[in-house]
Chain A
């Protein structure tokens, strides 16, 4: 039967040109000034993570107990921590593990989640049921619990924690993306490609996944924020990055005694860094998600 196009406000002649500019830049612009500010914050954080060791003014690991809890002075803009190390330098260098860890978690969980979601959506039926049930089981394990387990089995460290979190996040990713994958898979253009004789793998990688990309990117940024907080918590517990290596979560843990003793700056500033980056990532992620929903229609 006839499927008349829905009554929508008509697209003008400029629409074609606009459509072409759409893509990463257009998507970003569409998130508005708040989204752009968030993106800038994240970009700065990434730059610090990459170049931190080069721009840090002092050695982040050199203790000098006589300077412990020192106030900001001269070149030490943020003062000294509980071991007399320069807080600013520790922040700059610690950005690397603070951001690298979540990046690894996101990369791992997204890759696995996308593969599982697409496989379940493509094959449907029994395969889908099995995968979905398996994911339901994984849902029962909170990330931090798995990280504690991993630390117990493999020893504390960033790698074990990151892998444990990736495993814990994977079912969330798979669940969200499975719905989108199912919707895409049922579209006639996919059937047209099947009839052409294209293989399932090529259809999934050349068509299905690219069409889900706005959603995947939005999901990844949201997950980054969560991973950052979870890893900071794990490091705070002593199961992640091990001292004396700088890491924002570890810095909070190390310097928490200062909060009660009247030297709040080291712990608070590390906390603030985490909060700012997580908020920026969450805001950007949410807006990208909104745009993804709209692009999807």
Chain B
């Protein structure tokens, strides 16, 4: 894993993304200290997914910079070596377990492919590492050898996590990674993510609309509304005492025992 020495492991400054006339992200800045977890909270149209895609390089910012592990990643790179280096800095787990794996590949093959991409290891060493990663994410050997169609949503997400971790990234972006899972499975995966963070010192960026999940997994948070940051701070603080009216509205919309929905005037 790349060196960090206390400096923020990821820093975004003045990010802006335009799609034609539409401004999806407007002047967004945030910092991720090493070993911490940051939540990017918002609803649809908030720009949170666009930011995630810009960080991993699937979209290019119209303005602004993103720096991860000391390297600027706001512009695309040409060489294969640089692309792979970026892959070892930031990885991502997507929301939909049904389409985020190649349906023709077993879990082992998918993880092995990533190992071959980043390391020139012999087959034996790769096999051992694949087994280690499968165990880390709670997949038994039968599941590791299975094709995605034989695996449940929760199991597929575990494969996706193992595949992302195979690159040993400093930063793992979880783009609504538990939103499509059943409640009981979601709890298992959230526990798993917390365990992984303890064992590997990876830093998380959690993109989510689910405030309870955000509270469980992250220390810091920024709240996005229509592409702009409306509030930022410690997760617990934002949720216990939201300052901005949008955050308050968001917080008030979460179902909980005794909650009664009220129509807005």
Contact = CB atoms under 8 A, between A and B. Distances in A.
A71 B209 CA distance: 84
7 closest A-B pairs (Cβ-Cβ)?
Answer: A197-B87, A197-B84, A16-B150, A197-B83, A188-B100, A188-B94, A196-B87
B180 A192 contact: no
Contacts of B180: 2-4
Contact of A191 (B83, B94, B149, B209): B94
B100 A189 contact: yes
Contacts of B163: 192
B143 to A, nearest CB: 10
8 contacts: A1-B176, A3-B98, A16-B146, A16-B147, A16-B149, A19-B147, A188-B100, A195-B87
Interface residues of B, number: 41
Given A19-B149, A197-B86, A211-B103, 10 more contacts: A16-B146, A189-B100, A189-B101, A191-B94, A192-B94, A194-B57, A195-B57, A195-B91, A197-B87, A206-B113
Interface string A14-34: 011001100000000000000
A42 to B, nearest CB: 26
A199 interface: yes
A171 B151 CA distance: 38
Nearest to A213: B104
A20 B113 CA distance: 20
Contacts of B149: 15-16, 19
A199 B83 contact: yes
Interface of B: 44, 56-58, 80, 83-88, 90-92, 94-96, 98-104, 113-114, 117-118, 146-147, 149-150, 153, 160, 163-164, 167, 176, 179-180, 209
Contact of B58 (A189, A194, A197): A194
A183 to B, nearest CB: 10
B91 A1 contact: no
A62 interface: no
A191 B91 contact: no
A4 B180 CA distance: 6
Interface in A211-263: 211
A187 interface: yes
Contacts of B44: 1
Contacts of B57: 194-195
Contacts of B101: 189
A1 B209 contact: yes
A19 B95 CA distance: 25
Contacts of A188: 94-96, 99-100
A2 B176 CA distance: 9
A79 B210 CA distance: 82
A19 B103 CA distance: 11
Given A1-B44, A3-B180, A196 B150 contact: no
A196 B167 contact: yes
A196 B117 contact: yes
Nearest to A192: B100
Contact of A197 (B80, B95, B100, B209): B80
A8 to B, nearest CB: 12
Contacts of A2: 179-180
Contacts of B103: 211
A211 B164 CA distance: 21
A57 interface: no
A211 to B, nearest CB: 6
Nearest to B94: A188
A7 interface: no
B99 A197 contact: no
Contacts of B90: 195
Nearest to A202: B117
A6 to B, nearest CB: 10
A207 interface: yes
Nearest to B98: A5
Contacts of A15: 149-150
Nearest to A191: B58
A191 B49 CA distance: 13
A108 B70 CA distance: 49
A52 B106 CA distance: 43
Contacts of A20: 147
